Chains A and B, each alone.
Chain A
Amino acid sequence: NAGVTQTPKFRVLKTGQSMTLLCAQDMNHEYMYWYRQDPGMGLRLIHYSVGEGTTAKGEVPDGYNVSRLKKQNFLLGLESAAPSQTSVYFCASNRGGGNYGYTFGSGTRLTVV
C-alpha cells in the first residue's frame, strides 16, 4: 500500500544514547514533516523539508537534527537522548497545496529512561 512508513515502531533508549528514526514515502511528495505528540500538548512540529536536500526548523527543534538526502526519505536524529524526548513521533508528507492533506505514518513510540 502506498503511504508513509516509519521505523522502528517502538524504542527504549537510555539517557545520552543516540538514535535515528526513519521515514519513507512512496508518493513522490515534495514536503515532509516530523511531529511529536504528547498528552495535553497535541502535535507539535519539530522539523520539516520542502524538498530533497532542504530542511528547516519547526516549533520545537532543540535536541533534534534531520536530513533529507533522498526525496523519499526523511531522517530524524537524536544525538543525546533526554527523558523530555519521551514521546510518540509522527512523520507526514504532503504534495503541496492548501487543498491537500497530510499523509501520516503510524508513529514511533520512544521512551527515554
Chain B
Amino acid sequence: TQLLEQSPQFLSIQEGENLTVYCNSSSVFSSLQWYRQEPGEGPVLLVTVVTGGEVKKLKRLTFQFGDARKDSSLHITAAQPGDTGLYLCAGLRGSNYKLTFGKGTLLTVNP
C-alpha cells in the first residue's frame, strides 16, 4: 500500500499551459516536501510546507498543504520547457526525520 499517492503519473503539456499535480494520503504528516528530479541527478528540494492550509509560492509554482495535513498540491502557471522533470512529494512522520516518497509525476513541457 502506497502511503502517498501522486497523480497524474505522467503529464505532457505545451509551453504556456497551466497544470496541477496532486499528492494524497490517508495519513497525517507533520510536514510535506516537494522535490524536482532531473535525469541522472538526485532530487532537489523545492519547498517544505508545515502548517495545515499553508500556501507557498515560488515564482510560477504554488504549493498548498491541505487543512488536515494529509494532502498537498503543486500548481505551475505558464509552464516552460525548463520545468520538465520528475516531481516528487514526500511526507514526514514520526521521529528520525524519515521521509516517505510518492512515486512521482513525470512532467514534460513541449516547446
B92 within 8 Å of A (CB atoms)? yes
The 7 closest A-B pairs by CB, nearest first: A104-B42, A101-B45, A42-B103, A98-B31, A43-B101, A42-B101, A98-B30
A93 smallest CB distance to B (angstroms):
10
Q: Which residue on chain B has the smallest CB distance to residue A39? A: B103
Q: Which residues of the partner chain B approach A74 to less than 8 Å between Cβ atoms?
A: none
Contact indicator B31/A99 (Cβ below 8 Å): yes
Contact indicator B96/A48 (Cβ below 8 Å): yes
CA distance A58 to B94 in the complex (A): 13
Contact indicator A104/B96 (Cβ below 8 Å): no
Of the candidates A41, A45, A100, A104, which one forms a contact with B48 in the assembled complex, judged by CB atoms under 8 Å apart?
A100
Q: Which residue on chain B has the smallest CB distance to residue A90? A: B42
Contact indicator A99/B48 (Cβ below 8 Å): yes
Contact indicator B41/A101 (Cβ below 8 Å): no
A61 smallest CB distance to B (angstroms):
13
Q: Which residue on chain A has the smallest CB distance to residue B96? A: A50
B50 within 8 Å of A (CB atoms)? yes
What does the 1/0 interface line of A43-76 toward B look like (CB < 8 Å)?
1110010100000101000000000000000000
Q: Which residues of the partner chain B approach A43 to less than 8 Å between Cβ atoms?
A: 43, 88, 90, 101
Q: How large is the interface on B (under 10, 10 to 19, 20 to 34, 35 or more residues)?
A: 20 to 34
Contact indicator A99/B103 (Cβ below 8 Å): no
B27 smallest CB distance to A (angstroms):
15
Contact indicator B40/A107 (Cβ below 8 Å): yes
Q: Provided the pairs A42-B104, A58-B98, A94-B97 are in contact, do residues A106 and B40 lie with their beta carbons within 8 angstroms?
A: yes
Contact indicator B40/A99 (Cβ below 8 Å): no
Q: Which residues of the partner chain B approach A4 to less than 8 Å between Cβ atoms?
A: 42
Contact indicator B97/A96 (Cβ below 8 Å): yes
B38 smallest CB distance to A (angstroms):
10
Q: Give the residues from 31 to 50 in chain B that come closer than 8 angstroms, CB to CB, to chain A.
A: 31, 33, 35, 40-45, 48, 50
